[in-house]
Structure 1
Amino acid sequence: MKNIQDLDTSGARAAETFIHGGTRYLVVPQLAVDVPGQPAMITVGNSDIDALVYRWQDETFVPHTRLPVPGGEDAEFFEIGGRAFLATASLKSGAGPYELNVDSVIFELKDGAFIEFQRVPTFAAKQWTHFTIGERHFLALAQGVAMEGTEARNPSKSAIYEWNGECFAEFQVIDSTWGYNFAFFEIGGQRFLAYADHVARSRVMLWSGTRFEDFQLLDGKTGRAFQFFEAQGEAWLAFACLHDDTVLLRWNGTGFVAHQTLSGPGGREFVWREDAQGGELVQINFLLGSREAPVTSLTSVGYRFADGKLVPQRELPTSGATDACAFEDSGHAYLVVTNSLGADIRFRTPSKVYRLGA
């Protein structure tokens, strides 16, 4: 593994790569920039900044454009009937006091340009997940926060939106408190949607044919993310928690059962990448400790199966890491990792592009 590029990012919160019109893009939403004279804290900074859009060229990402995504948390690319869209999630705006009632914007891509398509009123938005059921297109939004002094004027519950041919309209509200993530997957013809919440019980929901119903409540609090994958002839669901254990669950035919504890606290995100060796699960670790005194210099891990268990095979030094994405080009495999906080608890810290070896 070789670090081939440092991206000049500030509070980077997500990495989304995709190909459109023959060009590979990388979108990196940013949470905040440091304000001179402010103390070093995860909860401060100026959130009125842009998401960075890069273009892949000669084994490097070059700046392409910037998108107005204040307090950026996520970007999700998808296509509908030949049209291409990018849904972005904004946690907040302002430089203090902060406003959590903000619009999250869906852009449409046309000839390399990102054009505002729809504004969705959101409250502390964290993540969009696009999925399809038959010919129907859905966007699941994880959002919300439960903190003293915050007041929701926009819809505050996590929700699912459906494409109605012209825009995305609310389809189903999810019982939620402090939403972080969704993951859609199918097993044996059944369609599931896993939902991670920081305060409420994280859960797996099952599509009934008309809506998603609770299927299985999960142990562990401070849920952050899921990764579904199939390997070793089994179906797996990795579940990351910030202040609890990050675990691997196995599908036993009727539900998910505990299979392995991957790590203690600190879990934030995953990426599963298939390869000739059977596949690698990369676990991105965010921080330890509290928001007031975080430890950001952690090690993120790449796992592979050995004797029925996931075993660490690769270590990545990260700093307040938040996300990763993998892709292949010209016979090489690459991994992008976003870092959001330096060891000094400042937002300005580079995100990394790695070329992976065998």
Structure 2
Amino acid sequence: MPNTEAGHPSPKILSVHQRLATSGARAAHVFRVDGKPNLVVPQLAEDILERPADMQGGNGDTDALLYRWEEGRFTEADRLPCPSGEDAVSFRSGGRDYLAFATMRTGSGPYEVNVDSLIYREEGGKWILDETLPTFGAKQFHHFSIGDREFLALAQGVLIPGIPLVPRGHGRSVVFERVDGRWREFQVLGGRFGYNWDSFRVGGHHFLAYADQLSPSVVYRWDGSSFVPYQTFGGRFGRSFRHFSHDGQEWLAFACITGESTLHRWNGELFEPHQSLGGAGGREFELFRRGGDLYLVRVCFVQGMPPAPKTDLMSQIYRWDNGKFEVLEEFPTFGGTDASYFEADGRSFLVVANSLTPDVRFRQDSVVYELSLDNA
């Protein structure tokens, strides 16, 4: 049975609106089709109950779940093949809508991490497989543009002690460029265990932030022809970045799974530490504005090592106040991996992807919360 104790003690801001029956949910990406919210949830694995619990195990031959917002709730609309889906991103290119999925592996053990990641194209209300890209333990796609050039960054790579995993290609995180309607490899950035990206512009320069598990996390600067290393963050265990502009300044949040999550302020040349955003476990951020206020959500994944992780953690929603973020409320997550804010029917919502039960099984509900931000 799924864990159902994801309620909220004395909720002030967040209240449970809907539970979604997910398994190893790795992302909760809300996008709009014809103005209506749609949600896609890639799933890492399904439980193999006769085997011991293992956060790196399970059946990886899974589907991504697609939902449509109907009568105030998400209704499952479709399923797309997406083995061990780690991430999904929607984007428009050439006047068409696309969904790109980063796929980690296939199989039920032993696993194959040299696997195609999948890009679907919307056509006549259906999602059609448009292109496949060979990947190695893929974690995240990130779509962005610089001028009239269009890019798709791929965070990939995996190294598990005691398990020989050999990439068929270079196996490093890489940036693709759109050429004649297809994605072509543009630049290999070198990370060995990539997780996440963010792209932004500061002072007329384009930057690409890259989080990595085993290598330093790096902010790259576009020099007009390639991405060059500009600033490093931490030595290992990076999970995500999130840039924003506020109060006339530029800011960059950085999540580290084993240490503090931190907020950094641009000093004119570099991002310098400004504020702690909580201790170990941080995996992903969501940033949104409403009514002139700025909010940040930090989603926490696990604490401890894979053989015995603690998956039931508290995640946070912050509001900007007097030059820093203040915690408005904490909420329970269970192997939390992602969050996505959206507005519908004149109300505010936050979808949170949960991937692991407290006893490290995959069948854990993800949650749609309604936000009562006026209570803040």
Superposed pair shares fold, TM > 0.5: yes
Equivalent position to 1:304, from 308, 313, 319? 319
Higher RCO (CA < 8 A, seq sep 6+): 2
Equivalent position to 2:260, from 235, 238, 245? 245
Equivalent position to 2:115, from 80, 102, 111? 102
- What are the within-5 Å matches in structure 2 for residues 29-108 of structure 1? 29-108=42-121
The residue number in structure 2 matching 1:289 is: 304
**Superposition deviation, residue 22 in structure 1:** 3.7
The residue number in structure 2 matching 1:169 is: 184
The residue number in structure 2 matching 1:121 is: 134
Q: Which moved more, 1:150-159 or 1:180-189?
A: 150-159
CA contact (8 A) 1:220 1:244 kept: no
CA contact (8 A) 1:32 1:46 kept: yes
Give the Cα separation in 2 of the matches to 1:175 and 1:344. 35
RMSD over aligned Cα, in angstroms? 1.1
How many residues matched? Answer: 358
CA contact (8 A) 2:64 2:80 kept: yes
**Superposition deviation, residue 219 in structure 1:** 2.4
SS at match of 2:57: coil
Paired amino acid for 1:131:
F
1:186-213 residue CA offsets vs partner (Å, 9 max, x unmatched): 1122100000000101010000011110
Give the Cα separation in 2 of the matches to 1:43 and 1:203. 26
Q: Structure 2 length as normaliser, TM-score?
A: 0.93
Paired amino acid for 1:328:
E
SS at match of 2:52: coil
**Superposition deviation, residue 221 in structure 1:** 2.1
**Do structure 1's residue 236 and structure 2's residue 251 form an aligned pair?**
yes
The residue number in structure 1 matching 2:166 is: 151
**Superposition deviation, residue 277 in structure 1:** 4.2
The residue number in structure 2 matching 1:28 is: 41
- What are the within-5 Å matches in structure 2 for residues 333-344 of structure 1? 333-344=348-359
SS at match of 1:349: coil
**Superposition deviation, residue 220 in structure 1:** 4.5
Paired amino acid for 1:326:
Y
Give the Cα separation in 2 of the matches to 1:246 and 1:165. 40
CA contact (8 A) 2:215 2:235 kept: no
Q: Structure 1 length as normaliser, TM-score?
A: 0.98
Paired amino acid for 1:100:
V
CA contact (8 A) 2:32 2:38 kept: yes
1:163-205 residue CA offsets vs partner (Å, 9 max, x unmatched): 1122100011012111001100111221000000001010100
Query: Structure 1 155/64 Cα, relative in aligned 2: closer, same or farther at 3 Å?
Result: farther
Query: Structure 1 187/98 Cα, relative in aligned 2: closer, same or farther at 3 Å?
Result: same
Paired amino acid for 1:77:
S
Q: Which moved more, 1:276-285 or 1:65-74?
A: 276-285
**Superposition deviation, residue 49 in structure 1:** 0.9
**Do structure 1's residue 6 and structure 2's residue 16 form an aligned pair?**
no
**Do structure 1's residue 269 and structure 2's residue 284 form an aligned pair?**
yes
1:190-248 residue CA offsets vs partner (Å, 9 max, x unmatched): 10000000010101000001111011111252000011112222211000011121111
Equivalent position to 1:330, from 337, 342, 345? 345
CA contact (8 A) 1:25 1:56 kept: yes
Q: Which runs of 4+ in 1 moved over 6 A?
A: none
CA contact (8 A) 1:220 1:245 kept: no
The residue number in structure 1 matching 2:193 is: 178
The residue number in structure 2 matching 1:135 is: 148
Give the Cα separation in 2 of the matches to 1:136 and 1:330. 36
Give the Cα separation in 1 of the matches to 2:167 and 2:349. 40
Identity %: 46
